[in-house]
Amino acid sequence: MKILTKYLAREIYFSVALVFAALLMLFALLDLINELSAMGRGDYKLGYVLLFVVLTLPGHIYELFPVAVLIGTIFALVQMAANSELTVYRASGVSLLQMIAALLKIGAPLLVLCFVFSEFIAPPSERLAQQTKLKAQNAQISLREFRSGVWVKDEGSFVNVKSVMPDTSLLDVSIFQMDANNRLRSITAADRASFVHDELWALEGVRQTLFGAQGASVNQQARMEWHSSLNPDILSVLMVVPEQMSAWNLYQYTQHLADNHQKTARYEIAMWNKLAYPFAVLVMMLLALPFSSYQRREGGVSGKIFVGVVLGLSFHFAGRLFANLGALNEWPAVLSATAMSWIFLGLALTMLWRTERR
């Protein structure tokens, strides 16, 4: 059985790698075509476009993991079945349960790899891609992140933002206004800043300290206008959409929303999806196993690959549909995030049961 597992692992890993290479080249080409329309804005030249495309690849790898594993496993198993290799294994006494155990063992490293991309590679890579694009298109504004929050240089001011919300509103904002000689002229602190239009923001809970020849003076206002070249499009690159955030960051933000009595459905669903999505790799490997028993006259390798592509895409897009419906209807987050995995697991077990009855 160890020999079978090693051989299966080699064939499946090789096939999955080939599928990943093909899918990533396709998605990279589509991203490149999409970014060409933005090329030429500021310093956003071809070099930056190519760098942006490369930095978005880890996110595609994470999203495509179940699809690539399903197609790659089907390809490997059908090829082995066509060469009668699996028939020899089954005739030598290898049971269905042993085959399932071997596939789960092979899928375990892929599960871990998917989780690593989800938590540690894709989110920072996506953020770096967006920041790189912004820097090239808006050279007059620099963005840096420290433990004290986000620091933004905005023309003659330095702005510190403790939190950037998904709606691009800002919490705990401090604006340090400098004069022409780079001397501190005023410090404006606000509890919240909301974008109004163009270059206008509305500050709430304002405490302003003015520095003049006569000394410092302090005044407080409930609301105040703030004119800035910053806009939501610029600030949105300081974070990624919930589906591209790490599970830990989603958990922290969900706790923040709950503490402030705000809706958490979308972020809870995204968090549970991050935790459950890697296990879809194992579900896809189980779903691929029944294809190994089909004969060449039933469609051949190309037919099985086509079915695998359809199933994989169905899983991907239907999963997003369930997540969006769950957020709109406030369904339980765990159910909304894992519904498609349970459905496909049921489909896999049903197909395996029917295969064994033949």
Whole-number Å distance between alpha carbons of 292 and 132: 46
In a domain, 262, yes or no: yes
Q: Tell me the two tokens of residue 340.
A: 């498609």
pLDDT at 354: 85
Please indicate, yes or no, whether residues 250 and 320 belong to a single structural domain of this protein: yes
Is the pLDDT confidence value at 298 over 70? no
Pair 304, 74: CB distance under 8 Å = yes
With pLDDT > 70 as the criterion, what percentage of the chain qualifies? 90
Same structural domain, 10 and 70 = yes
| pLDDT for 84 beyond 90 | no
Residue 64 included in any domain: yes
User: What is the rounded average pLDDT of the residues 154-164?
Assistant: 81
Q: Which of 229, 256, 277 is the last residue of a domain?
A: 229
- Whether residues 283 and 307 fall in one domain: yes
Count of other CB atoms within 10 angstroms of residue 34: 11
Residue 253 in this model has a pLDDT that exceeds 60: yes
Residues 153 and 116 in one domain: no
Kindly report the backbone phi and psi dihedral angles of residue 201, in degrees, each rounded to the nearest multiple of 5, phi listed first: -120, 155
Closest to 78 measured CA to CA, from 21, 11, 27, 128: 11
345/342 Cα distance (integer angstroms)? 5
Q: Which residue has the higher pLDDT, 347 or 304?
A: 347
Residue after which a domain boundary falls, among 229, 252, 278 = 229
129 and 8 in a common domain? yes
Residue 234 within any structural domain of the chain? no
The answer to whether 277 touches 343, Cβ cutoff 8 Å, is no
Note the pTM of the prediction, 2 decimals: 0.76
Same domain flag for 161 and 262: no
The mean predicted confidence, pLDDT, of the chain is 85
Amino acid at 176: F
- Mean pLDDT score, 344-350: 93
- Residue 204 in 3-state DSSP? strand
**Of residues 51, 47, 45, 48, the one with CA closest to residue 28:** 51
Q: Given pLDDT bands bounded at 50, 70 and 90, which one contains residue 138? A: low
Given a cut of 60, whether residue 142 has pLDDT beyond it is no
- Does 353 share its domain with 253? yes
Q: Please enumerate in sequence order all residues whose Cβ is within 8 A of that of 28, keeping only pairs 6 or more positions apart, or say none.
A: 53, 54, 57, 60
Q: Looking at residues 72-93, what average pLDDT do you find?
A: 83
DSSP of 161-222: EEEE-TTS-EEEEEEEEE-TTS-EEEEEEEEEEEEEETTEEEEEEEEEEEEETTEEEEEEEE
Beta bridge partners of 158: 153, 176
Q: Which string of DSSP letters, residue by residue, matches 316-344?
A: HHHHHHHHHHHHHHT--HHHHHHHHHHHH
Whether the per-residue pLDDT at 69 is higher than 90: the answer is: yes
Asked, for residue 121, whether it belongs to a domain, the answer is: yes
Spatial distance between the Cα atoms of 251 and 274, rounded to a whole number of angstroms: 11
- Please check whether residues 40 and 113 belong to one and the same domain: yes
**Do 161 and 80 reside in the same domain of the chain?**
no
**Is 235 a member of any domain?**
no
Task: Output the pLDDT for position 37.
Answer: 86
Q: Which residue has the higher pLDDT, 26 or 261?
A: 26
Q: Which amino acid is at 29?
A: L
If asked whether residues 211 and 340 sit together in one domain, one would say: no
Q: Name the 3-class secondary structure at 197.
A: strand
Q: What is the band of 295 on the pLDDT scale with cuts at 50, 70, 90?
A: low
Least confident of 27-31, 140-144, 338-342, 348-352: 140-144
Question: pLDDT band at 148, cuts 50/70/90?
Answer: low
Domain end (from 204, 229, 254): 229
pLDDT at 181: 83
Contact 127, 150 (CB under 8 A): no
pLDDT digits (tens, 9 = 90+) for 22-66: 999 999 999 999 999 888 877 889 999 999 999 999 999 999 999
Shared domain for 274 and 319, answered yes or no, is yes
Q: Cα 301 to chain center, whole Å?
A: 32
pLDDT of res. 139: 41
Q: Is 132 in the same domain as 262?
A: yes
The C-alpha atoms of residue 352 and residue 286 are separated, in whole angstroms, by 8
Total domains present in the chain: 2
Domain that holds residue 313: 2-137+240-357
pLDDT value of position 106 = 96
Residue 113 clears pLDDT 60, i.e. is over it? yes
Q: What is the pLDDT of residue 15?
A: 95
Residue 350's pLDDT is what?
93
pLDDT score, position 233: 63
Please report whether residue 329 resides in a domain.
yes
140 pLDDT band (50/70/90 cuts)? very low
Percent of the chain with pLDDT over 90: 44
State residue 1's pLDDT score. 67
Write a three-state SS string for 224-268. Answer: EEEECCCCHHHHHHHCCCHHHCCHHHHHHHHHHHHHCCCCCHHHH
Q: Which of 176, 230, 231 is nearest to 208 (CA)?
A: 176
In whole angstroms, give the CA distance from residue 182 to residue 179.
5
Residue matched to tokens 């005739």: 91
Coil vs helix vs strand at 155: coil
Residue 142's DSSP bridge partners are 153
